[in-house]
Amino acid sequence: MIIDALTGVLAIPAITAALLAALPGYRITARINVVATGLTLLCALSLFFRRPEAGTYLLVDDLNATFIVLTTFVGFTTSIFSASYIDHELEIGRLTPPFVRFYHAMYQVLMFGMNLALVANNIGLMWVAIEMATLTTVLMVGIYRTHEALEAAWKYFILGSVGIALALFGTILVYMAARPAVGEGLDAMVWTILVKHADAFDPALLDVAFVFLLLGYGTKVGLAPLHAWLPDAHAEGPTPISAVLSGLLLNVALYALLRFKMLLAVNTGALAPGPLMVTLGLISLIFAVFMLYRRRDIKRMFAYSSIEHMGIITFAFGMGGPLANFAGLLHMTMHSLTKSAIFFAVGHVAQVKGTQRIADMGGLTETHPVLGWGLVLGVVAIAGLPPLGIFMSEFLVVSSTFARAPLLALVLVFGILVGIAALFLRLNSIAFGEPRGPIGKTHASYVPMFAHLALVLGAGIYLPPALVTWFQNVAGLLG
């Protein structure tokens, strides 16, 4: 085969981005966008069966194959949602055709950046890719050019740049630590080589490096207290971008952290990264659930819910061990699927109502039954009620923690319960009661939303043994 799957995962978005930047006419570009992300997904899926050898720049192993498939899948479904969303935005004149062209090109650049960050075997390349992904999202968050959108983009740009700068400093320190053991040059930045020699690195230098990396990439994960950009960026950008941000970009940053965590785990003298991640995770969880209560903007509310769940996921990976890692991976997958489904619903709801204010929405299940019940199902899922997938993953996180650190588990359960209460309080006024606000028709595409929710429901009821084995295998890699 001349073009292998790995090249496809990177080349398809890159070429499509150039193509979309050149093509006028938004209908055709929206379709090309969908087709391209679909093809990327197919390439990503084939990585499960056949994958190239690790090179100095690129690497595919079981860990990142999982991330790539998740990323390309949500990228694909979001592009379908995006097509109908953008259609409506053009109709009401919120976006003009030149902006739509720019938007589609940027969408593909974002996919390219995320895929590159995931397959990078070189920690410098990974950093460049994450920077690229961040930049494209900054541009897209500001695309509406309103006062609020520009403020959100500015805030995101400044905080994101600081995060990315700290991460680079951490990367340089890792290189400094590796140099005596691995030797000068490119090899000292190649992850697979680093992991082999990590035992010989200077532990103190590695510790400091990890602190910088945790703060730097942690900003991008949206961990409190570095989360300030996240709610604004989610609320003011186009909704497909909120879905991709929550469902994917946060995961990619977390993936970078996990790679470095694996590096530290090999070195016996270095500090355990677990407690740091556990602490940040719990702080994010507790902070976010209380912030959920007084939200007036629907997208902002679900942005805080993303902080909550990234907190839980970071917590699970911080606890470590086969069971907690398994729970973390499962939770990450379920959260990506559910949260993007919720944003699909919210995007259409906000378009119908012409606002994102929760106070101006009401009785959705009466006026728009499909959309309303879809949103209800999504919120039930994200709150972690049985029998949906998030219930299972949260249950696993909690139960694995109870065995090892009962006190932390109590805090965790408390946070989750507060979160559930807050979500239902808001859901009640949005979905039920007297209809409020405009009740116009939607020409929404419900397929992506219900496809995600069906997957989450399916995973909650029955997790195929093949998937369980796969996740167990990856959890073992994470140590």
Partner 1 sequence: MSRIDFDIAHLLAGTLVLISFLELYQDRLYALLNVYAAHALVLAASVAWQAFVQDAPHLYVTAAIALVFKATIIPITLHRVIVRLGIHREIEKVVGVGAAMLAGMGLVALSMVVMLRVTHGADPLAREDLAFALSVVLLGLLMMVTRRNAVSQVVGFMSLENGLVLAATGAKGMPLVVEISVAFSILIALIVIGIFLFRIRERFDTVDVQALDRYRGERR
CB closer to partner 1, 105 vs 138: 138
The CA distance from 371 to 373, in Å, is 6
Task: Give me the 375-394 binding string for partner 1, x by CB under 8 A, dash otherwise.
Answer: --------------------
Asked if 413 touches partner 1 (CB under 8 A), the answer is: no
Assess 151 for contact with partner 1 (CB under 8 A). yes
Residue 136: Cβ-neighbour burial (10 angstroms; 0-12, 13-18, 19+): buried
Stretch that binds partner 1, among 172-180, 312-320, 361-369, 443-451 (CB under 8 A): 172-180
- Which tokens go with 474? 């990856």
DSSP 15-35: HHHHHHHH---HHHHHHHHHH
Q: Which of 91, 148 has the CB closer to partner 1?
A: 148
Q: Which of 6, 189, 250, 422 binds partner 1 (CB under 8 A)?
A: 189
Q: How many whole angstroms separate alpha carbon 244 and alpha carbon 372?
A: 22
By CB under 8 A, residue 175 contacts partner 1: yes
CA gap 116, 436 in Å, rounded: 45
Please tell me whether residue 184 binds partner 1 under the rule CB under 8 A.
Answer: yes
User: Does 205 contact partner 1 by CB under 8 A?
Assistant: yes
Give the whole-angstrom CA distance, residue 97 versus residue 102. 9
Does the protein bind partner 1 through residue 180 (CB under 8 A)? yes
- Does the protein bind partner 1 through residue 232 (CB under 8 A)? yes
In the complex, minimum distance from the CB of residue 186 to partner 1, in angstroms, rounded to a whole number: 4
Location of structure tokens 């805030």: 155
**Piece in contact with partner 1 (CB under 8 A), picked from 72-80, 125-133, 429-437, 454-462:** 125-133
Among 161, 429, 442, 472, binds partner 1 (CB under 8 A): 161
CB 335 within 8 A of CB 222: no
Q: How many residues bind partner 1 (CB under 8 A)?
A: 49
Residue matched to tokens 């116009």? 440
Q: Spell out, one character per residue from 285 to 324, where the chain touches partner 1: x when CB under 8 A holds, - when not.
A: ----------xxx--x------------------------
Report the half-sphere exposure of 113 (CA within 13 A, side-chain side): 23
**Are 197 and 266 contacting, i.e. CB atoms less than 8 angstroms apart?**
no
Return the range that interacts with partner 1 (CB under 8 A); candidates 148-156, 244-252, 267-275, 309-317. Answer: 148-156
Cβ atoms within 10 A of the Cβ of 11, count? 15
Q: How far apart are CB 46 and partner 1 at their closest, in Å?
A: 29
| Contact string 347-376 vs partner 1 (x = CB under 8 A) | ---------xx-------------------
Residue closer to partner 1 (CB basis): 43 or 167: 167
Helix (H) or strand (E) holding 327: helix 321-353
Pick the piece of the chain touching partner 1 (CB under 8 A) from 41-49, 165-173, 278-286, 406-414: 165-173
Residue 119 interacts with partner 1 (CB under 8 A): yes or no: no
Q: Is the peptide bond prior to 387 cis by the omega test (within 30 degrees of 0)?
A: yes
**Smaller CB distance to partner 1: residue 111 or 298?**
298
* Residue 150 binds partner 1, judged by CB under 8 A: yes
Nearer to partner 1, 230 or 416 (CB): 230
In angstroms, give the least distance from the CB of 108 to partner 1. 17
Q: Least distance in Å: CB of 124 to partner 1?
A: 4
Report the residue from 21, 69, 172, 195 that binds partner 1 according to the rule CB under 8 A: 172
| CB of 184 vs partner 1, minimal distance in Å | 3
CB atoms near residue 365 (< 10 Å) = 18
User: Judged by CB under 8 A, does residue 18 bind partner 1?
Assistant: no
Distance between CA 223 and CA 227 in Å, rounded? 5
Q: Count how many Cα atoms sit within 13 Å of the Cα of residue 192 in the half-sphere of its side chain.
A: 13
Among 317, 248, 243, smallest CA distance to 280 is for 317
Out of 61, 62, 87, 207, which residue is the one contacting partner 1 (CB under 8 A)? 207
> Structure tokens of 457?
């429901």
Q: What secondary structure does DSSP assign to 386-447, as a single string? A: TTSHHHHHHHHHHHHHHHH-HHHHHHHHHHHHHHHHHHHHHHHHHHSSS-BS---------H
Residue 57: partners with Cβ closer than 8 Å, 6 or more residues away? 120, 121, 122, 125
Binding residue for partner 1, selected from 204, 425, 447, 467, defined by CB under 8 A? 204
Q: Which two tokens stand for residue 478?
A: 């994470």
Q: Which of 39, 42, 165, 451 binds partner 1 (CB under 8 A)?
A: 165
20 within 8 A of 101, measured Cβ to Cβ: yes
Q: Which two tokens stand for residue 54?
A: 């690790």
Q: Could you tell me the smallest distance in angstroms from the CB atom of residue 146 to partner 1?
A: 8
- Reduce the DSSP state of residue 48 to 3 states and report it: coil
State how far the alpha carbon of 276 is from the alpha carbons of 129, 212, 213, in Å: 25, 12, 12
What one-character DSSP code corresponds to residue 247? I
- Give contact residues for partner 1 (rule: CB under 8 A): 122, 124-125, 127-128, 131, 135, 138-139, 142, 145, 147-148, 150-151, 153-154, 157-158, 161-162, 165-166, 168-169, 172-173, 175-176, 179-180, 184-186, 188-189, 202, 204-205, 207-208, 231-232, 295-297, 300, 356-357
